[in-house]
Amino acid sequence: MSTTTNRNHRRSFIKLSVGAAAAAASVAVSTLVSPLAFAQAPSQAAPRSLRIGNQKGYLNLLKGRGTLEKRLAPLNVSVSWTEFAAGPVQLEALNVGSIDFGDVGEAPPIFAQAAGAPLAYVAATVPRPQSEAVLVPPGSSIRSVADLKGKKIALNRGSNVHYFLVKLLRQHGLQYSDVNVAYLAPADARAAFERASIDAWVIWDPFFAAAQKTLGARVVADASGVVGNRGYYFSSQSYVAKNPDVIRIVIEEIEKVDQWGSRNKDQLSSELAQLWGLPKPVVDAAVARQQFGTERITRAILGEQQQIADAFLDLGLIPKHVDVLRAGPPNLA
């Protein structure tokens, strides 16, 4: 064999050896780094989004901290925020597919379900009955719930306090028809309260605390022993089915803010006062009676919601029966 031929054989052998070594290295890397690890890498995860509809409250605090975005970044989930003035508007946005997550009081989800919204309850706050009450002016002759008979009472139609008043009256032997209800939004109700054009006002915090601190409003009864006054976190049924990991992380981050608030009430008041544009003493009063904690959705909790739905149907506030359980998670405890 010629020298030239030998050199060509050597070159071919070297190329084959390098190729084999590269292949072996590739196999070794594939063995050390499993397909699961690649699937978990942020660059490999399919991009997803979480569109949050928030009111001025705990979700705003979570937004300001930026911790949710950090938790979701490894999952390649982008987060966007849209602020709403009230829960019903948030749920309308959910119904048309504009948001994926939000927070709301007890009553708006009932109306959303009655309208056919694809609502899914994903978590609840602990009961907060001391955070809503029936208020009267400081010089009012009304001293008890029984004294409300025949009186003009303002409240926000279809809200949590609407149900509270219904239950409170029944508990004291009165019917809803025994009082004259004026449907007014909180700002309009406060103005009417100041003018004495209403006899009583059923309202929640921080409007409740503001009326106490700045108008000398007196409490006839709060919701203790009457209704739970929970808050709810919601999503759509399709989003929950496709993104259970995202929902779990959101609730975990909300719980962290909630736990922080329970340990740092003064700082929480300061942050909420700035957020709400209210004097800190007003917010201090609201925070002092607030209950902290988040609970998973159970059959019993949705049973509370069903009672609200049935009461609203009796009052003609919703057009048809609502089966609240249909918006609950599978395998309810």
**3-state secondary structure string, 227-275?**
CCCCCEEEEEHHHHHHCHHHHHHHHHHHHHHHHHHHHCHHHHHHHHHHH
Q: Are residues 116 and 146 in the same domain?
A: no
Decide which of 57 and 173 is more confident. Answer: 173
DSSP 3-state assignment of 46?
A: coil
What is the pLDDT at residue 72?
97
Please, which residues bridge with residue 154 across strands?
182, 201
Q: Is the pLDDT of residue 2 over 50?
A: no
Q: Is the pLDDT of residue 86 over 90?
A: no
315 band by pLDDT with thresholds 50, 70 and 90: confident
What is the pLDDT at residue 44?
62
What is the pLDDT at residue 333?
72
193 band by pLDDT with thresholds 50, 70 and 90: very high
Q: Are residues 109 and 250 in the same domain?
A: yes
Contact of 62 with 249, CB cutoff 8 Å = no
Contact of 91 with 119, CB cutoff 8 Å = yes
Q: Are residues 240 and 320 in the same domain?
A: yes
Q: Is residue 333 one of the residues assigned to a domain? A: no
Contact of 138 with 121, CB cutoff 8 Å = no
Q: Which among 222, 246, 267 is the end of a domain?
A: 222
Q: Are residues 236 and 323 in the same domain?
A: yes
Q: Are residues 169 and 147 in the same domain?
A: yes
Q: Which among 183, 204, 222 is the end of a domain?
A: 222
Q: Is the pLDDT of residue 22 over 80?
A: no
Residue 333 burial (CB count, 10 A)? 9
Q: Are residues 253 and 164 in the same domain?
A: no
- Give the strands of the sheet with 152-155, arranged side by side: 180-183, 152-155, 200-204, 132-136, 218-222
Please state the pTM of the whole predicted model. Answer: 0.81
Range of the domain at 205: 138-222
Decide which of 15 and 197 is more confident. Answer: 197
274 band by pLDDT with thresholds 50, 70 and 90: very high
| Cα 243 from Cα 101, distance rounded (Å) | 11
Q: Which among 222, 238, 269 is the end of a domain?
A: 222
The backbone region for 291, taken as left when phi is positive above 0, alpha when psi lies in -120 to 50, beta otherwise, is beta
φ, ψ at 59 (rounded to 5°): -65, -30
In the chain, DSSP finds a helix count (H) and a strand count (E) of 14, 11
Q: Is residue 285 one of the residues assigned to a domain? A: no
Q: Are residues 240 and 203 in the same domain?
A: no
Q: Output the domain CATH number for residue 296.
A: 3.40.190.10
Q: Are residues 90 and 149 in the same domain?
A: no
Q: How many domains does the chain have?
A: 2
Q: Is residue 9 one of the residues assigned to a domain? A: no
Q: Are residues 160 and 207 in the same domain?
A: yes
Q: Are residues 242 and 213 in the same domain?
A: no
Q: What is the dihedral of CA 269, 280, 165, 315, to 10 degrees?
A: -80
Summarize the confidence of residues 255-263 as an average pLDDT.
96
Of 187, 185, 184, 229, which Cα lies nearest the Cα of 210? 187
Q: Is the pLDDT of residue 231 over 80?
A: yes
Q: What one-letter code names the amino acid at 70?
A: K
Q: Is residue 22 one of the residues assigned to a domain? A: no
What is the pLDDT at residue 31?
32
Q: Is residue 83 one of the residues assigned to a domain? A: yes
Q: Is the pLDDT of residue 56 over 90?
A: no
| Cα 199 from Cα 66, distance rounded (Å) | 45
Summarize the confidence of residues 166-187 as an average pLDDT.
95
Q: Are residues 203 and 76 in the same domain?
A: no
What is the pLDDT at residue 159?
84
Length of the chain: 333
φ, ψ at 48 (rounded to 5°): -135, 170
Half-sphere exposure of residue 103: CA atoms within 13 angstroms, side-chain side: 20
Q: Is residue 205 one of the residues assigned to a domain? A: yes
Q: Is residue 160 one of the residues assigned to a domain? A: yes
Q: Is residue 37 one of the residues assigned to a domain? A: no
Summarize the confidence of residues 42-69 as an average pLDDT.
87
Per-residue DSSP letter, 47: P
- Rounded to 5°, angle at Cα 169 from 139 and 179: 65
Q: Are residues 142 and 191 in the same domain?
A: yes
Of 154, 147, 166, which Cα lies nearest the Cα of 208? 154
What is the pLDDT at residue 19?
39
| Cα 182 from Cα 61, distance rounded (Å) | 34
Summarize the confidence of residues 240-259 as an average pLDDT.
96
Q: Is the pLDDT of residue 55 over 90?
A: no
Summarize the confidence of residues 123-148 as an average pLDDT.
97
